Structure formats: structure tokens, C-alpha cells
Structure 1
Amino acid sequence: MSTRVPFKNLAEAERLAKRRLPKLVWLAIKAGNEQGLTPADNERAFTELGFSPTVFERPTSFDMSTSVMGVDLDIPVIVSPVGAQAVHPGGEVAAARAAARQGTAMGLSSWATDSLADLLAVNPDVFFQLYWVGSKADIEKRVLDAKAQGAKGLIVTLDWSHTPRRDWGVPPSPPANMGLKTMLTFGPSALARPRWFSSFLAHGRIPDVKVPNLWGADKSDIPSFGTAWAEFERTPAPSWDDVKWIRDLWGGPFMVKGINTIRDAKLAVDLGADAISVSNHGGNNIDGSPSPLRYLPYIVDAVGDQVEVMADGGVRRGSDVVKTLALGAKAVFVGRAYLYGLAVSGEAGVYEVLDILRNGIRETLYGIGKSSIHDLSRDDLMVLNSDFFVPPTQ
């Protein structure tokens, strides 16, 4: 792809994305609840860990490959499932195509604006992320359909607190009815960024409010984001037995996302999970919870020999990935990071974000004298703040 990408690091990509996107879309991406303490700590935690560089025995080759839920990856970075991104008309398909070119997988959210079938057409390594929305019969249909289509794994996400309060304002969910009143409300924000809006028109679409992966009775019954979200808030949270039922129904590689405690990690193992993701939903769970990086090693020590451990939250550079792997994760998810690239340059922007992370991993390995991510350990890290590690609730 020849599209010029006007950034060389994630900080630049973030600044450019903020300038390009309508205010409401930007706030939805930045997200976080209440004061935004948790997303801030997700990034800050990485600054409290450092390395001891070496000048001897520098490696000449680098192995960054790994596998997650049976899928081989060229880099230990997976594009995270993100719902209703609305940042670029290329949507999740563009991101999935970029991930395929980088030799990695993508998670597809139930709230995505593109369908699972569309993603599988450009990247065979897609994990489908399931939310507990609607009736058990509808959930069963979605699970079995994702399996029949060829999703490589199922991610059940449980860490959403339904907290809508943000001290800097709350972007409203796209409503069920895009009538005149709605257009008058949203129009000024969109028209203030004509380049963003015109890019959608050039692709023959408007920013979608449909969620094709949350169909009800059949695939012709595709709800709007607002309608599905209202149903989500009315649906009682799943119990351990419900998640176990999904695991048995799926019968393939299975991940529980949103683990924050040793107890929950052990319960996920007990229900037969193949993988867990240590995550606070990018700061969209309870505000004030610490970065997953702070308690990742405790969870790895508790269950890391029984289940694959992933992590996400605040990854902005390759050295962040290396720190996470050194603490015991097999790979990381990146969400906001890829959205910044997507907002700026579509597929080429996502590819560049993944390339920046790939190069950063290699450069960090070179600096600490490691030829493989599989040789990393906590001994490779220096704690710059003695209060860094926070044991999770047992």
C-alpha cells in the first residue's frame, strides 16, 4: 500500500487523530470513566519500569513470534476488539487487512460496524468477542454462527461497569432512530471535521450506527447501536455457569477478557478457559482501578502454568510490549493505538502502528541483549518506583 503515513510514533498519531476527528468521536475513543484515573495509570505504569541496557553480546537476529489460542503470530501484538469505532470508513476490515499483512490476528467486537464474514475474507485469524446481550437463544445462535464461519477463537468480555459518567462529558450512544432531531444534534460536530465526513461519503457510506454482529432472531434482524446498547443494559450479567455454558457450547479456543483478580483468574481456569486477558477495559471499568501491568505478575504466578495470559491497556511503544512480556504475558492487545493510526491513514495507518511496535520490540531486545521474546523475564526489568507492584484482591 502506497498511502503516505504522516506519523512515525504513536504520540504523533494520537495528536493527528485528535485534529482529524469530530469532538464526540474523539471523546468516545479516549473514553474512560469519571476522572479518567485508570486510563492515565495504564500509560503511567509503563514509565515506572525500566531496563538495564547492555553493550556486549548484542543479538544479530530476533524472534518475536508467539502463539495465542493456537494461532501463530509473527509479533506478540493483536489488534484488540473495539466497538463502534467510527473513525474511518475502512472500518474493522481495514484494520484486519493491516493485521494480516503484519502476520498477526485481530479481535472483532460484537459492537463492530463490520461483520465477521467481512473480516474473515481479508484475515483468516480473527477472534470473535462475545458480549452477553439479549436472550440465551440469541447468544447461542451468535456463538454457533461464529464457529461455523471459522472464527479462530472466542473472547468473552465481562469487564464493563455500565458507568456512563465522565468528568469531561459523555458522548451519547448512536440512537436507534436517525431522524431530523438527531441529525441536528450530531451534524455540527461532524461538519466541523469535513475531511472526516467526506471520507465516509467518498466510500459510499455514513458513520454506521448498525451492529451486524449482534443480530437477533436471524441475520436480517440487525439492530442499531443504540437499540442493542439499551438491550445490553437490560440484560442481567452472566453468572459463572453462564460463561461455562458458552465455553461448552463453543468447544474451541476460549478466552475470558477482563480479569483483575487472582480469584477470577482461577475461576476462569476452572470453567475451562484456554486464555485470559488481564484488563480493565481500557479504563472503562471502575475508575481508580490500577493498570493491569501492576498486578499482571501475581496473576501469572497464580495461573500462568495452566492458561495463556494476555494483557492490554496503555501500550504505546515496543518497549511497553517487552515490559508486558517480561512480566509473563504471552502477547498484548492494542486498541486505542490502532484506532489512532486508522483515523489518520486507514489501513496504512494501522499497518504503520503495528510496524512501529514491531521495530520498537526489536530495538528493545537489541538493547538488553535478548534475541527472542521467549528469553524475557522479570530480571530484565528495573523497578523505578518501589510501589509499582500492586497485589490484586485474592
Structure 2
Amino acid sequence: MKIENPWKQNPWFESVAVAQRRAQKRLPQPVYGALVAGSERGQTIHDNQAAFGELGMLPHVAGHHADRSMTRTVLGHEVSLPVLISPTGVQAVHPDGEVAVARAANARGTIMGLSNFASKSVEEVVEACPNTFFQMYWTGDRDVMVQRMERAHKAGAVGLIATLDWSFSMGRDWGSPEIPEKVDLKTMVRMAPKVVTKPRWLYEFGKTGQIPDLTAPNLAPPGGEAPTFFGAYYEWMTTPPPSWEDVAWMRDRWTELSGTPFVLKGVGRVDDARRAVDAGVSAISVSNHGGNNLDGTPAAIRLLNPIANAVGGEIEVLMDGGVRRGSDVVKALALGARAVLIGRAYLWGLAANGQAGVENVFDVLRGGIDSALLGLGVASIDELTPEHLLIPEGFHRS
């Protein structure tokens, strides 16, 4: 017998902000709190979004184009809009997790980024979206890292993202969310008061017969068991941090293995961007880890233009951090980004309505990009420059 959803409502939402409100209403507080995150006082996570509001648009009153294009080749792949999926770990906001996100990315013609801390395997995700880039932290010894690269390549990943911008800034002024080591009977009983008040979330998992998976299958050794999220986190904390020589080594191993793009994520300085070029990377992502890293780091959009001016002629420059609207995407492209990556935005969509919710987020952003292109009087995202923006004095940081 088919079980009907007793909480069924109009699933469509008109903005990422609405998706976030629906996610907050649907998710247990610890799960929602893990998505909001942000380190220490939350200065960086706030600035990531607020900085976009400081940039104005300079529209034309006539001479608009009836047809507008937002397609672009990014990292060797043509995408239908310059918005990519940024890799985020353990997506327990929905039973389908990263697979739902990958299907949405594939349906909307863009690139999927898969975290090696994900709750779904790289094999499942690549099957759902062939244009998947596998993301790795610098964890474990070199043999372990090569084994993980080989698995991703064998699965069909078309690029590697190295995320190296984590620090130990974990304390939050508003308190860290409770994330269990594993979800077992004892944990479910202890957390029941926080979960039972969210019947829609329980219903989604209940109808699939699943419980939230907090393991990291992509970190499992050959023939071994997947570590828990905290087991993976411990491996990272006990791995000596990488040098620039290590970055070059990682890039060389991936290039020898796959020959596909290597992206360095987490760049926030011009001198680091130049060293990334020297290390041979294909692209960098200007990022502060969504405000989850060292608090007090300026918004990624403030750092973008100086870095793009310095190295944009040699490698592709991406940006992630704080993108919630199509106009945010346009501002980033005008300041030199080849494309942007989104994180929390699609997680809100996933929590609100699964794969369809992620597709809804893409459609919201697409509509906003198109509206901005129309108002600015350009026919393509390729025409965007800083002259289309009103940029306050002192906005850029370098």
C-alpha cells in the first residue's frame, strides 16, 4: 500500500531564503545547526553574504537583448549556467543525500563536487552525474591518498578538488550542534526529544527504511569498513598539514593518474594564488570555507578581484562563499570569477524538497542571473566586467 505524505504542500519556493526557512522548519535543531555552522563569533559567515549587498548594479534603460546566454566552459566542461556544486560532507538532511544533489546537477547541466566526507559513495554519485569532481582533504599518509585518488579515477571522476583551508577554529559563540559519533539505538533514544518534533524529516527517512548515515564510505580502506565522520575528522587532525611541495605532489599524482583538472580550494591571498600557479593547478577557488575556517577572514567576494587580476590569465578562478541569488553570481562573474560554487544554498533545497529542491535552487539562480543580464543590457555572461557594478571605495581586500 502506498503511503501518502500527510504534510504534502506546494514544494516550489521562490528564493533560497524561503528554502532555508523551510529547511529550518523541517530539520531537527542539531541537523540545522550543523548546516548553519560558522566558526567563533561568525564574523566571516556574516560578511560572506553581507558583502554582496554592498555591491550595486548599474542597469541600462534601453538597448536590452531579447536573448541572453549564461553557458560557459568551466574546467573543460560546458555548463548551462556558471553555478557548480561545492562539496559538503555528510548530507544527512535527506535520505538520498549526495545522490539527489548529483541528479539535480546533471539535470541542470552543471558540475557536481563530491566531498570525501560524503555519506554516499563516489561510485553512486558518478553514476548519477558523470561530471563529478572528487574532493579530498589532506588526510592520511601519501599511500592512502593515492589509493583514494585511484578509486575516484576508477569510478569516473573527471577532476580533483583539494581543500586545504581548514584550521582548528571550531568554537562557536552560539554553541556547537550535537553531532553523534554514530546513529544507534542508544543515540536515537537520547536524541528522540529533538527529533520527534520534526515528523516530516522522520517521515522521509521512515518511508525508505533508512536512518541518517554518519559514516564516510569514500574513506574506507580497500575491503575495510567506512570510518565514522568523527573517525575521518580525527584522521585529518592527526595528519601533518601540507606544504606547497605537497600540493605539487598531489597535483602531479592526479595528473599522472587521470590527466583531468586539479582545483585548489580555499585560496584567499594573491601570493598564495601565484604559488598555486607555480604548483601547476588547473584552477583555484577563492574561498574561506563558508565561514567555517579562521573567523575574521574577509568575505570571498572581497578577495576575488585582486586574485583574478593577478592570475586569471593563467588559470581558471572560481569563487564560493555567500552566494544566495542570481545577482550574487553576476557580481562574482563581473569581478573575475569563471564560475561560482554553492554550498548551503543547495543544502537548503535538499532539505526542503530533495532532488527537486536542489533543482529549484538552480532555477532560482538561473532566473536571477537572466534578470540581471537583461537589466545590465548584456547578451552574455562573457560581457560582464567590473564596470557593470557600483563598487564602494575600499571594498576589495588583498
The TM tier, using the shorter chain, reads: over 0.9
Distance in 2, Cα, partners of 1:107 & 1:382: 32
CA deviations on 1:301-355 (whole Å, 9 max, x unpaired) are 1111111000011111100000000000000000000011100100000000000
CA deviations on 1:122-141 (whole Å, 9 max, x unpaired) are 11100100111222211110
The one-letter code sitting in structure 2 at the alignment partner of 1:167 is: D
Distance in 1, Cα, partners of 2:105 & 2:130: 10
The DSSP-based 3-state class of the residue aligned with 1:100 is helix
- Deviation of the 1:186 alpha carbon: 2.7
Contact 2:335 2:386 survives alignment (8 Å): yes
Contact 2:326 2:369 survives alignment (8 Å): yes
Distance in 1, Cα, partners of 2:140 & 2:244: 17
Distance in 1, Cα, partners of 2:362 & 2:178: 30
Residue 379, structure 1, aligned to residue 379, structure 2: no
The DSSP-based 3-state class of the residue aligned with 2:219 is coil
Instruction: Extract unaligned runs of 5+ from structure 1.
Output: none
Aligned to 1:129: 135
- Deviation of the 1:68 alpha carbon: 1.9
Of 334, 354, 359 in structure 1, the residue corresponding to residue 362 of structure 2 is 354
Of 306, 314, 338 in structure 1, the residue corresponding to residue 346 of structure 2 is 338
Residue 269, structure 1, aligned to residue 277, structure 2: yes
- Deviation of the 1:147 alpha carbon: 1.4
Of 122, 125, 143 in structure 2, the residue corresponding to residue 119 of structure 1 is 125
Distance in 1, Cα, partners of 2:90 & 2:223: 18
Aligned to 2:3: none
Of 105, 112, 116 in structure 2, the residue corresponding to residue 110 of structure 1 is 116
The one-letter code sitting in structure 2 at the alignment partner of 1:112 is: A
Aligned to 1:198: 203
CA deviations on 1:138-194 (whole Å, 9 max, x unpaired) are 11100111112211110000111122201111124431x545543343332222212
Distance in 2, Cα, partners of 1:302 & 1:154: 23
Aligned to 1:228: 232
CA deviations on 1:231-272 (whole Å, 9 max, x unpaired) are 211111122122211111111210000001011111111111
The DSSP-based 3-state class of the residue aligned with 1:121 is helix
Distance in 1, Cα, partners of 2:185 & 2:239: 30
Aligned to 1:326: 334
Structure 1 stretches of 4+ moved >6 Å: none
After superposition, the Cα gap between the structure-2 partners of 1:3 and 1:100, relative to the gap in structure 1 and judged at 3 Å, is farther
Residue 94, structure 1, aligned to residue 76, structure 2: no
The one-letter code sitting in structure 2 at the alignment partner of 1:378 is: P
Aligned to 2:61: 55
What is the identity percentage for the equivalent residue pairs of Structure 1 and Structure 2?
48
In the TM superposition, what are the counterparts of 1:155-174 in structure 2 within 5 Å? Answer: 155-174=161-180
In the TM superposition, what are the counterparts of 1:136-151 in structure 2 within 5 Å? Answer: 136-151=142-157
Aligned residues: 387
The one-letter code sitting in structure 1 at the alignment partner of 2:386 is: R
Contact 2:59 2:388 survives alignment (8 Å): no
- Deviation of the 1:94 alpha carbon: 0.6
Contact 1:3 1:348 survives alignment (8 Å): no
Aligned to 1:250: 254
Residue 29, structure 1, aligned to residue 35, structure 2: yes
Aligned to 1:70: 76
TM-score (norm 1): 0.95
Distance in 2, Cα, partners of 1:181 & 1:3: 33
The DSSP-based 3-state class of the residue aligned with 2:165 is coil
In the TM superposition, what are the counterparts of 1:288-303 in structure 2 within 5 Å? Answer: 288-303=296-311
The one-letter code sitting in structure 2 at the alignment partner of 1:320 is: D
Distance in 1, Cα, partners of 2:246 & 2:134: 18
After superposition, the Cα gap between the structure-2 partners of 1:52 and 1:236, relative to the gap in structure 1 and judged at 3 Å, is same
The one-letter code sitting in structure 1 at the alignment partner of 2:67 is: S
Contact 1:39 1:314 survives alignment (8 Å): yes
Aligned to 2:5: none
